[in-house]
A = this chain, B = another copy of it.
């Protein structure tokens, strides 16, 4: 089902993101002298085999709104930087204390805690540097993108979700758990989809549909993560399974069981899919939506 055009196009978009991230990284590493360790730590995590789902969504929503994908590259790369920053800080000993990420030592295991802390800080900041400097965007677009990214990254979004995760470890009721998912995972996906639309100069209707799509997709995505933590293949995932249960962490799948969770993820994916109808050129996004439901890593 996902062969041919879809696989080719996914690779094309992923390569485009990687090339732009590599170029940004190369520029940042120039004349850096004593500070080269930080560029290495940032790049280590940035190129550690992430699936690039957020930037691919950004480019695809830009295209779906009739825009040129190139225009969405600053937003796409900024989002991947924010995502990577959050993973580095999440893995630190004072947070989840994870030694591995995507099958490789996590940033603080490879570079030490101080450098991992600073690499995360630098990536969050570099996201805004990218929004301010990269590409040929108008000041209005850059300002709108800064507003989006900062809103969904901050206390009302991803960081707020991390706070709930930190405060309520293990003692979730379902409502609080879904709120946490919506913020910790959903918020940055909303930013990814909306920032793609903004990069194309799309209207409020497109933004609202993109946000509803991301809300559904984000929840489905997180539930699938929960299922994979119970049933997944450690080699494919690049991390040990059963870590949630081991950490005494309630998840949607542990509360509701694998079968019911699979049904919920499928229903959410179908609802997300339906939101794509208003976009002009949404074939790739529709395939991507189904592909994410069926992923096994």
Q: Could you tell me which A residues sit within 8 Å of B by CB distance? A: 28, 32, 34-35, 37-39, 42, 85, 89, 92, 94-95, 112-115, 117-118, 120-122, 124-126, 128-129, 131-133, 138-140, 142-143, 146-147, 149-151, 153-155, 159-160, 162-164, 166-168, 176, 179
Shortest C-beta distance, A189 to chain B (Å), equals 17
Q: Is A166 a contact partner of B118 (Cβ separation < 8 A)?
A: yes
The residues of B that contact A92 with a CB separation of less than 8 Å are: 94, 117
Q: Which residues of B contact A131 (CB under 8 A)?
A: 146
CB distance from A125 to the nearest CB of B (A): 5
Residues in B with CB closer than 8 Å to A124 are 121, 124-125
A154 to B143, CA, bound (A): 19
Contact status B94-A38, CB under 8 Å: no
Given A117-B89, A155-B38, A159-B121; A149-B166 close (CB under 8 Å): no
Nearest B residue to A180 by beta-carbon distance? B34
Identify the closest chain B residue to A86 (Cβ). B121
Contact across chains for B159 and A118 when beta carbons are under 8 A apart? yes
Query: Can you offer 30 A-B residue contacts whose CB atoms are under 8 A?
Result: A28-B155, A32-B160, A34-B163, A34-B176, A35-B155, A37-B163, A38-B160, A39-B155, A42-B155, A89-B117, A89-B121, A92-B117, A95-B114, A114-B166, A118-B163, A121-B121, A121-B159, A124-B125, A125-B150, A125-B153, A128-B128, A129-B150, A129-B154, A132-B143, A133-B147, A139-B139, A142-B143, A142-B146, A143-B146, A146-B146
Contact partner of A118 among B28, B34, B162, CB < 8 A?
Answer: B162
What residue of chain B has the Cβ atom nearest to residue A41's Cβ? B163
Query: Is there contact, CB below 8 Å, between B155 and A122?
Result: yes
Within the complex, what minimum Cβ distance (angstroms) separates A159 from chain B? 5
Q: Determine whether the beta carbon of A150 is less than 8 Å from that of B128.
A: yes
Chain B residue at minimum C-beta to C-beta distance from A150: B129
Q: Tell me which residues across on chain B come within 8 A of A39, comparing CB atoms.
A: 155
Give CA–CA (A255, B32) in the complex, Å.
Answer: 26
Q: How far is the CA of A92 from the CA of B121 in the complex (A)?
A: 13
Q: Which residue of B lies closest to A160 (CB)?
A: B35
Min Cβ gap A168→B in Å is 7
Contact across chains for A115 and B147 when beta carbons are under 8 A apart = no
Q: Which residues of B contact A114 (CB under 8 A)?
A: 94-95, 166
